Amino acid sequence: MPRRLKTHAGLSPQAAERLRPRLDAFLASTDARARIGFDPVEFPHRYTDPRDIEVSALLAAALAYGRADLFRPKVDSLLSRMGPSPAAFVRTLDVRGAKALLTGFVYRFNVGTDVAVLLLGMGRALKEHGSLEALFVRGLQSEGSLHGALGAFTAALRDVPMAPLRAAMGPERGLHHLLPSPLGPGAAKRLNLFLRWMVRGPDAVDFGIWKRVAPASLMIPLDTHIGRIAGHLGLTRRTDLTWRTAEEVTASLRALDAADPVRYDFALCHYGMSGACPARPVPENCSRCPLLPSCQVGPGVVAGSTRRVSQASRPRGSGVSGKGRR
């Protein structure tokens, strides 16, 4: 007998048809401009030149882990000291300049040497290829997959002489966290976030300045918020934050919009970030959620809360028969 093909565990076509209008309405009701200030995308929005946008965006995305109130001052300080054009700064950056900029820099897993590699790598890419887009597209053409292209992209950025940097600034500490190479099985959330900013749009959030990469090829930037909400909406049955889960969520989103599958990402992620959909469901929040009819968790939370309220308001002894209360 022929081997049965493995089927995707996400949305069925029927579920997609039910979910699409609700997600479209949810997206339309999201005040994206009001949320930009809570998102690392605020940094590239300071610039208008495409090269400044992509350089500031990759720096911001690379450091966008942990608490926003901790990484935002770090990114802000670096960009302020890099002057009005981040692209011009990295084009002329050398080891001496990197040391002047980054001596004493520490943010969680990363030290100055790690960030220096990123900045020097971007400068080399601009000088040799003209743009970060051209460097990425070269990897996409040679590798044939998004995962392979991202791996080639980070490997190329890391291809800078390390001995002079280590001598001047000390050893790297979290370079693989900043620029994972090889990419590995993780979801590569921050790299996929950077790609979303560059490729899709332009709209209130994303820039759409990369014209040689199709939005249809993008992968969801999978984090705890998207992972949780995707599970609630039936976009995936997986609970780990891996590339495989990101693929499954994105496949479900392609059933909603094949040409632009990650267009719901910003709205859904900020719905979680804002506390409207917390890790531990809150009945009041669930009852007000515009996605409640499509949620696999919220209706049970609301029903359970209603039952508890009903039982608590029942007069003592009412409805008790036979054995009675003890």
User: Closest by alpha carbon to 81, among 50, 51, 104?
Assistant: 104
Q: What is the pLDDT of residues 122-157, one digit of tens each?
A: 999 999 999 999 999 999 999 999 999 999 999 999
Mean pLDDT across 228-248 = 97
Contacts of 78 (CB under 8 A, 6+ apart): 59, 101, 105, 115
Give the C-alpha distances (Å, rounded to integers) separating 213 from 17, 56, 248, 284. 27, 19, 21, 42
Which pLDDT belongs to residue 305? 80
Whose tokens are 């979680």? That residue is 272
Q: Which residue has the higher pLDDT, 51 or 7?
A: 51
Give the C-alpha distances (Å, rounded to integers) separating 56 from 33, 183, 249, 275. 19, 22, 28, 28
Contacts of 224 (CB under 8 A, 6+ apart): 241, 272, 279
> Which class in CATH covers the domain with range 11-34+213-307?
mainly alpha
Band (325; pLDDT cuts 50, 70, 90): very low
Total Cβ atoms within 10 A of residue 28: 8
For the chain, what is the mean pLDDT? Answer: 92
Q: What is the pLDDT of residues 182-223, one digit of tens each?
A: 999 999 999 999 999 999 999 999 999 999 999 999 999 999
For residue 5, pLDDT beyond 80: no
Mean pLDDT across 290-312 = 87
Q: What is the pLDDT of residues 89-111, one digit of tens each?
A: 999 999 999 999 999 999 999 99
Q: What is the pLDDT of residues 302-323, one digit of tens each?
A: 998 877 766 666 666 544 444 3
User: 32: which 2 tokens?
Assistant: 């994206």
Question: What percentage of the chain reaches a pLDDT higher than 90?
Answer: 89
For residue 79, pLDDT beyond 90: yes
Length, in residues, of the chain? 326
Query: In angstroms, rounded to a whole number, what is the distance separating the alpha carbons of residues 81 and 101?
Result: 7
Which pLDDT belongs to residue 321? 40
Which pLDDT belongs to residue 9? 59
The enclosing H or E element of 107 equals strand 106-107
User: 182: which 2 tokens?
Assistant: 């090889």
Query: In angstroms, rounded to a whole number, what is the distance separating the alpha carbons of residues 52 and 217?
Result: 24
Domain ranges for the chain: 11-34+213-307, 43-184
